[in-house]
Structure 1
């Protein structure tokens, strides 16, 4: 789960930053065109400017889509991994209950504990790439992921 959170952060950050940069550039170009609208209209450059804006907008939207698709894919993997771990814990607990080595309440306790343990990692991997993660969670996830990295 931690590796998935780290992968989400690393793979989704770059396309998101590129999309923001392209969007800012497009907005700056649009603002400049609006300021010079009379000159652009007088010179007959409006159709070409419109085509340029459409192309730039398409590139910006493509960058956003690439980052979003990557983040959604990794979030689905993280969610599936979390469910798999929870199912494994419950199945292991059920086996122990059938052998009468633990009580049925132990399964419930283990399920709650594993759910709470995996929750922060799930949040990191789900929201890490799209910028919607609250700042305290983002710093906690970055700290968590930094501990996992191999020493350089």
Structure 2
């Protein structure tokens, strides 16, 4: 289904290519009407298939949740007995995050990415320079995604773990509030917890800053590469090696080719 959806996403650039190169040159309204009818039908089919795929993901998430509910609760109880209630509830939060991942838009990114050779092949068909530019752009975005993962993953994990430990500590403190108050330990414990909380927040803030920075770099790189492809297409048109329709279509296909890698 994802394969059909990706093929149908070629409708707009191919329609624009045919309109520029065939309809305008031939001045044929019959050709325009036929192309328009085909394009509208393809777009309607695309919308139907995309909606059906979303429903499939939703049913997959519900089925997974039903199957893992009891094992997750058992695991949460075991972890709670060994490491505390905060760590136990984290198991259930992980299950909820997994359900949201399957039910959201993120899961479609790898399914879109595996069909990228279709778009890359169309770009090579338009002109070898388009295909080379698309291949280089994909490799650049993959490299930026890997770099972002290296910069963000570990420090975010450290910040999350530290935050969970702090929540567990304050939970233990509250449960023994009377004894702590009687012994006069509350100010010292509050200061220690505050320092730990600040440290965890700093780690999470560093991770967020790096993540947002890499997102901005990746998005800027994608837009820049699309502009370069448009400029290259204009240059090829000037040289007479391609057509204006191919220039516009290649630019749109380039944006669609890079979109899954921008979301990784």
TM-score w.r.t. the length of structure 2 is: 0.46
Question: Which protein shows a greater Rg?
Answer: 2
Match of 2:185 in 1: 45
Count of residue pairs brought into register by the alignment: 124
Instruction: Structure 2 unaligned segments of length 5 or more: list them.
Output: 1-140
Residue aligned with 1:101, SS: coil
User: What is the RMSD of the two structures over their aligned residues, measured on CA atoms?
Assistant: 1.1
Trace 1:48-59 onto structure 2 (pairs within 5 A): 48-59=188-199
Match of 1:12 in 2: 152
Match of 1:34 in 2: 174
Shift of residue 75, structure 1, vs aligned partner: 1.5
Aligned match for 1:113, one of 231, 253, 260: 253
TM-score w.r.t. the length of structure 1 is: 0.77
Match of 2:161 in 1: 21
Aligned match for 1:77, one of 202, 210, 217: 217
Residue aligned with 1:18, SS: helix
Question: Residues 57-116 of structure 1: CA distance to partner in whole angstroms, max 9, x if unpaired?
Answer: 100100001111111221122112111210110001111222333221112211111111
Residue aligned with 1:85, SS: helix
Runs of 4+ in 1 over 4 A off after TM superposition: none
Match of 1:91 in 2: 231
CA distance in 1, matches of 2:194, 2:144: 35
Residue aligned with 2:263, SS: helix
Match of 2:243 in 1: 103
Correspondence 1:66 to 2:209: no
Shift of residue 22, structure 1, vs aligned partner: 0.1
Where relative contact order (Cα < 8 A, 6+ residues apart) is larger, the structure is 1
CA distance in 1, matches of 2:156, 2:185: 32
Shift of residue 3, structure 1, vs aligned partner: 0.5
Match of 2:262 in 1: 122
Q: Report which of the two has the higher share of helix.
A: 2
CA distance in 1, matches of 2:212, 2:193: 28
